């Protein structure tokens, strides 16, 4: 068992040396000024879209998903209410679900409006008007 472990350690050290040797031999090309910045991102497959626009898109998608969740909560409340069959407890549960969904939807819409205002203000403040 000990011989197997020592053989594996030696093998892994040799393999690590090969990886290190391959890494250092391929790092001979100097970095060009064109390799930095947005052109570098485009070369490795990233987009050239502005970061502020990307963040705004992510926020919009997340707010849309949260809006869908709030609508589903309202639908669950409506299902409880419609299937209550005269049971006051289930009617109250349905009303609570609907009320919670409406409050959540109001919070989500106000957060969306606030985030939209802040992002638009930041874009306006950081954009050069001479461009």
User: 10 Å Cβ neighbour count for 24?
Assistant: 9
Predicted pLDDT at 86: 85
Write out the two tokens for 41.
């991102």
pTM above 0.85, yes or no: no
Q: How confident is the model at residue 100 (pLDDT cuts 50, 70, 90)?
A: very high
pLDDT given at position 31: 59
pLDDT of res. 82: 94
Largest separation between any pair of C-alpha atoms in the chain: 80
Given the structure tokens 């070369």, which residue do they identify?
Answer: 43
User: So where are the chain's domains?
Assistant: 49-126
What's the rounded Cα separation, in Å, for the pair 83 and 91? 9
Question: What are 22-41's pLDDT values in tens digits?
Answer: 545 555 566 565 555 556 66
CB-CB contact of 77 with 101 (8 Å)? yes
Task: Evaluate if residue 111 carries a pLDDT over 80.
Answer: yes
- DSSP per-residue letters across 57-90: HHHHHHHHHHHHHHHHHHHHHHHHHHT-TT-HHH
């Amino acid at each position: 068992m000990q011989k197997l472990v020592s053989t594996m350690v030696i093998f892994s050290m040799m393999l690590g040396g090969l990886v290190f040797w391959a890494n250092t031999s391929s790092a001979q090309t100097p970095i060009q000024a064109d390799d930095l910045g947005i052109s570098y991102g485009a070369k490795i497959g990233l987009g050239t879209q502005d970061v502020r626009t990307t963040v705004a898109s992510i926020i919009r998608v997340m707010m849309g998903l949260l809006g869908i969740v709030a609508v589903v909560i309202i639908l669950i409340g409506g299902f409880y209410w419609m299937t209550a069959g005269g049971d006051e407890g289930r009617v109250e549960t349905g009303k609570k679900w609907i009320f919670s969904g409406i409050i959540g939807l109001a919070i989500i819409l106000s957060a969306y409006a606030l985030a939209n205002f802040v992002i638009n203000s930041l874009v306006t403040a950081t954009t050069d008007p001479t461009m």
